Structure 1
Amino acid sequence: MPFRLSILDKCPRQPEETGQQALQNSLALARLAEQAGFYRYWIAEHHNTPALASPSPEIVLAWLAAHTKTLRLGTGGIMLQHYSPYKVAENIHLLAAIAPGRIDLGVGKAPGGLPASTRALQGETPGQHGSFAQQLTDVNRYLTQGHPGLQATPLPAVTPPRFLLGASLESAELANAVGWNFVFAAHLNGDDQQLAKVADFWQQQTQRPTLVAVQVVIAGDRSQANALAASLETWQLVLENGQRVNLASSQQAHTFAKQAASGIVSLERKYPTVIAGSGDEVFDRLLQLHHRYQIDEFIIDLPITDPTHRQQALTRLAAARQAAHRVSNLSLVSGVTS
């Protein structure tokens, strides 16, 4: 097929589940993704969030690597502002030694949590590792040539590819400047004009593939999918201190403002950008986006957290891709023999 399909997993936990059960659900989904021919399986990072069970993607990836064989595994992404670039490089090299040729490093700029968890992670000296651009440069150095007298060991046989996750042209420019791959977070920024601008910049400036993350809701038919999509919430919070963040509920937004000790300038519910429909309808929409923006790979975020629904959604999308592949092959055969 003309584009790859991959999965971004936030390791959601249902209210009645333990963290162990939530992680077992993610393992089951990863195995299913491998069987269905998905290319990558990335784990996101979130802190102090009872509904999500993965504050440390690297640990989850080591576990998934032991239970899969061919699936690429990656961080989607490590929230770099919290950590030493050297330690990030060590962890990724260690994973790449465990699963050679199967590990991706993805990093992001967001905190992955509320201000209280950010303070707990960074201590009393936030920003001690420098600007985000400097941290990215440092990680890159440790992963490539290293530093005089200092290497991120063990050095793997295959250096993991590096990805910056972002939702703006500025992030794409930074990724290009340091020689990284870039994933445009269309599930966070659904502005078609911004996507077009980023894709055009990326394809003009580099030969690296165009990757886009999208939110997908798949059900038996479009009406069911639309009803599920309508239940999703995103609240955009703007604070007096200049912070602008997207959160999952108004309650979470008020908690964020309280922990940040800043007044609220505005709080507005936004309807997230979601591709919803049957498996065939969603695949057709992805195919349209592929043709319009020359997208090489879609990173699929499944925002409906019920584990059975997630498995069904993945299976339906895989079946739609397989059906489209059969039709494409029949058309090629027909063209050759006619």
Structure 2
Amino acid sequence: MAYRLSLLDKSPVMSGETATAALQRTLHLAQQAEKWGYHRFWLAEHHNTEQLAGPSPEILIAWIVAQTRYIRVGSGGVMLQHYSPYKVAENFNLLASLAPGRIDLGVGKAPGGMPLSTNALQLGIDAAKKGNFADQLRLLNSWLQPVEQDGDEEILRATPQPAHAASRFLLGASEESARLAAEQGWQFVFAAHLNGDRQLLEHSLQTYSRLSDGQRALVAVQVVVADSPAEASLLTAGLKQYHVQVKGGQGVNVATLEQAERYVRQGGYTDYLIEPRTPSLIKGTAAQVHAQLQALHQHFAIDEFVIDTPINDAKARLASLESLATHHLVAA
């Protein structure tokens, strides 16, 4: 098999447990992922939710690289719309200086939460000066570029400047995102775990490859591995997804109808559409899942999959990821 496996973790808080326990499980998963042969371990960013314990991937990255040896660790991703591109560059230049050659900076366009948290995160920001997402990404890119050390204190640098800069990834699920990634010289990650439209996937990957001189994108997918197809179906029986599209605004994906309605209510939106979507999911035994990944690899020339496993049971989730990795090693 000619594809790599990486992990995306959201630090889920299980019923009745503390955030501390959830974060310890994230660390344990990163350490196990390193043993199992996963290439990257990425942390997501979510705000104002008791179900997920990771609002600041930068902090978790520093914690995890200090307690692992060689697996790459990164953000999947930093929600750039909320922050100063200069500060993001400083954070990741510092991380790359702490762990040379191991840091990934993944940047996303989604809010990572409801309008209440978005408003709080962007309190006092001048929208006109901030610019749009493409403007912010260009600024971030400029701060991440090394500047010649000539002693001129009048030049603004995002220090410290690492010997090995963080690898840069743009997360998205559109041809627009693929085009922007290619234009800025970033690697592209198609978020198929949020939008499994195969035609959109194909067009986005083709656009990125064409505009980046043949570079291949990564693809994030939802995967559940179990001992039998029936068990895999049982583990995912309650999995749902809803898409909220506000007129003139950005679409978001949420897990329940209640969350979709809350998003609309908090934003004060009146012109919107809430659509149920069938979650994009690859499930079954390890052999069945790898057969599907192999088919995607061959059809779309995907060399690396970022695995998101939406299982609420912590033990079953760990077993799923171990089985996926160990079968991959055996088959390879």
TM-score tier, shorter chain, comes to over 0.9
**Residue 182 of structure 2 aligns with which residue?**
176
Question: In structure 2, do the counterparts of structure 1 residues 286 and 143 end up closer, same or farther at CA, with 3 Å as the change threshold?
Answer: same
**Residue 92 of structure 2 aligns with which residue?**
92
C-alpha contact 2:181 2:208 (8 A) present in aligned 1: no
- Listed as ranges, the matches of 1:259-274 within 5 Å are 259-263=266-270, 265-274=272-281
Question: In structure 2, do the counterparts of structure 1 residues 291 and 251 end up closer, same or farther at CA, with 3 Å as the change threshold?
Answer: same
**Residue 8 of structure 1 aligns with which residue?**
8
Distance 2:214 2:202 in 1: 17
C-alpha contact 1:79 1:109 (8 A) present in aligned 2: yes
- Listed as ranges, the matches of 1:156-195 within 5 Å are 156-195=162-201
Distance 2:249 2:218 in 1: 30
**Residue 58 of structure 1 aligns with which residue?**
58
Residue correspondences, number: 325
**Residue 42 of structure 2 aligns with which residue?**
42
Aligned-pair identity in percent equals 49
**Residue 246 of structure 1 aligns with which residue?**
253
Give deviations 1:20-42, integer Å, cap 9, x for gaps: 00001111111110000100000
Distance 1:323 1:240 in 2: 49
Which residue of 278, 303, 310 maps to 2:310?
303
Q: What letter corresponds to residue 314 of structure 1 in structure 2?
A: L
Is 2:227 aligned against 1:220?
Answer: yes
Is 2:150 aligned against 1:149?
Answer: no
Following superposition, the deviation at residue 239 of structure 1 comes to 3.6
**Residue 286 of structure 1 aligns with which residue?**
293
Q: What letter corresponds to residue 316 of structure 1 in structure 2?
A: S
Following superposition, the deviation at residue 201 of structure 1 comes to 2.1
Distance 1:83 1:298 in 2: 28
Following superposition, the deviation at residue 243 of structure 1 comes to 4.5
**Residue 115 of structure 2 aligns with which residue?**
115
C-alpha contact 1:40 1:74 (8 A) present in aligned 2: yes
Distance 1:177 1:16 in 2: 46
Distance 1:279 1:24 in 2: 26
Following superposition, the deviation at residue 280 of structure 1 comes to 1.2
Q: What letter corresponds to residue 325 of structure 2 in structure 1?
A: A
TM-score (norm 2): 0.94
C-alpha contact 1:119 1:126 (8 A) present in aligned 2: no
Q: What letter corresponds to residue 139 of structure 1 in structure 2?
A: L
Following superposition, the deviation at residue 76 of structure 1 comes to 0.4
Q: What letter corresponds to residue 253 of structure 2 in structure 1?
A: N
Structure 2 portions without partners, runs of 5+:
149-153
Distance 1:285 1:111 in 2: 31
Following superposition, the deviation at residue 247 of structure 1 comes to 1.0
Superposed structure 1 runs of 4+ greater than 6 Å apart: none
Distance 2:21 2:320 in 1: 19
**Residue 74 of structure 1 aligns with which residue?**
74
Following superposition, the deviation at residue 231 of structure 1 comes to 1.2
Give deviations 1:206-251, integer Å, cap 9, x for gaps: 2333210000111111111122223111112234564532111111
Distance 1:66 1:145 in 2: 25
**Residue 27 of structure 1 aligns with which residue?**
27
Q: What letter corresponds to residue 230 of structure 2 in structure 1?
A: S
Which residue of 185, 195, 204 maps to 1:198?
204
Task: Select between 197-206 and 154-163 the one with higher mean Cα deviation.
Answer: 197-206
C-alpha contact 1:212 1:298 (8 A) present in aligned 2: yes
C-alpha contact 2:146 2:161 (8 A) present in aligned 1: no
Following superposition, the deviation at residue 196 of structure 1 comes to 1.2
**Residue 134 of structure 1 aligns with which residue?**
135
- Secondary structure at 2:155 match in 1: coil
Question: In structure 2, do the counterparts of structure 1 residues 104 and 214 end up closer, same or farther at CA, with 3 Å as the change threshold?
Answer: same
Distance 2:125 2:136 in 1: 15
C-alpha contact 1:241 1:262 (8 A) present in aligned 2: no
Following superposition, the deviation at residue 307 of structure 1 comes to 1.9
- Secondary structure at 1:5 match in 2: strand
Distance 1:204 1:237 in 2: 31
- Secondary structure at 1:230 match in 2: coil
Question: In structure 2, do the counterparts of structure 1 residues 203 and 63 end up closer, same or farther at CA, with 3 Å as the change threshold?
Answer: same
Following superposition, the deviation at residue 320 of structure 1 comes to 1.4
Q: What letter corresponds to residue 210 of structure 1 in structure 2?
A: A
TM-score (norm 1): 0.92
Q: What letter corresponds to residue 129 of structure 1 in structure 2?
A: K
Following superposition, the deviation at residue 124 of structure 1 comes to 4.1
**Residue 330 of structure 1 aligns with which residue?**
none
Following superposition, the deviation at residue 198 of structure 1 comes to 1.6
Following superposition, the deviation at residue 265 of structure 1 comes to 3.6
Task: Select between 253-262 and 242-251 the one with higher mean Cα deviation.
Answer: 242-251
Question: In structure 2, do the counterparts of structure 1 residues 130 and 239 end up closer, same or farther at CA, with 3 Å as the change threshold?
Answer: closer
- Secondary structure at 2:130 match in 1: coil
